[in-house]
Amino acid sequence: VPPALECPGGSDAWQDVTVDRSSRLCQTQRNPCNSSEQLAWPCPENSVCAPDGPGLVQCRCEGPFHGYRCLREDTFPMLLFGGILGAATVSLSLLLWGTQRRKAKSP
């Protein structure tokens, strides 16, 4: 990185930051999940912390939990979600096909 710029995620996200006159070398990315510092957004219950880039974390839901802040228990209702999405897509497609077909046939 050019010396005028910061390391991605800031210098605190790296263990070794070396600056010379032509470059800034950022080495050995720190794992913010294992740090003793308090995270800006700690992960909620039923989730685990996972590194997501320099200085960033991602909270992933554990086990049967899903949804916002991992509060919903059980599996995601994939069949219901897919059925509603599919029905809406087919209905909208038929509506657009019908209205555009009439316009294409008229002289």
Q: What is the pLDDT of residues 55-105, one digit of tens each?
A: 788 889 988 888 888 888 887 788 999 999 999 999 999 999 988 876 666
pLDDT at position 39: 46
CA distances from 83 to 64, 73, 87, 95, 96 (A): 22, 21, 6, 18, 20
Q: What is the pLDDT of residues 11-70, one digit of tens each?
A: 888 889 999 888 999 998 888 787 665 545 578 888 888 888 887 888 899 888 888 888
Q: How far is CA 98 from the centre of its chain?
A: 38
What is the pTM for the complete model shown?
A: 0.49
Asked if residues 33 and 57 have their Cβ atoms less than 8 Å apart, the reply is yes
